């Protein structure tokens, strides 16, 4: 069965409603601002970027959103010592809406450009 455009738009509309709920809660609870995207299937991604936060602040922002959304975090470190944080969530008000929070914690470079 093919997915119709109307379905995709409905999923995006639900995600948009959820994002409004998330941002309203963030204002009240003083959660850090993060970048949000909504895919064509309605999946949401919250990204804690390195442009706005130092690595320890990124982790704190990630943890705050994970806690707020009741998500289960996971973590892995790659060969370049970058820590990848990821947590899937489902919106408490509607199980059809969900997504992930993510962050990449890049270690600082030394004077020679290495880790």
Q: Give the chain's domain count.
A: 1
Please provide residue 73's backbone torsions phi and psi, each rounded to the nearest 5 degrees. Answer: -80, 155
The residue segments making up the domain with residue 29 are 5-105
Interval 23-80: pLDDT, tens: 999 999 999 999 999 999 999 999 998 888 888 999 999 999 999 999 999 999 999 9
pLDDT classification of 11: cutoffs 50, 70, 90: very high
pLDDT classification of 106: cutoffs 50, 70, 90: very high
Residue 114 lies in a domain: no
pLDDT value of residue 115 = 53
Residue 67 lies in a domain: yes
Residue 112 lies in a domain: no
Write the burial class of residue 43 (CB in 10 Å: 0-12 exposed, 13-18 middle, 19+ buried).
Answer: middle
pLDDT classification of 83: cutoffs 50, 70, 90: very high
pLDDT value of residue 51 = 86
Of 25, 23, 47, the residue nearest 35 (C-alpha): 47
Residue 113 lies in a domain: no
What single DSSP character describes residue 108?
P
């Amino acid at each position: 069965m093919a997915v119709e455009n109307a379905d995709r738009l409905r999923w995006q509309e639900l995600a948009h409603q959820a994002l409004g709920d998330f941002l309203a809660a963030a204002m009240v609870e003083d959660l850090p601002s993060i970048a949000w995207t909504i895919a064509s299937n309605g999946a949401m991604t919250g990204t804690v970027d390195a442009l706005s936060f130092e690595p320890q602040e990124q982790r704190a922002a990630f943890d705050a959103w994970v806690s707020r959304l009741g998500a289960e975090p996971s973590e892995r470190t790659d060969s370049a010592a970058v820590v990848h944080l990821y947590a899937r969530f489902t919106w408490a008000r509607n199980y059809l809406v969900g997504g992930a929070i993510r962050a990449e914690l890049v270690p600082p470079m030394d004077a020679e450009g290495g880790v």
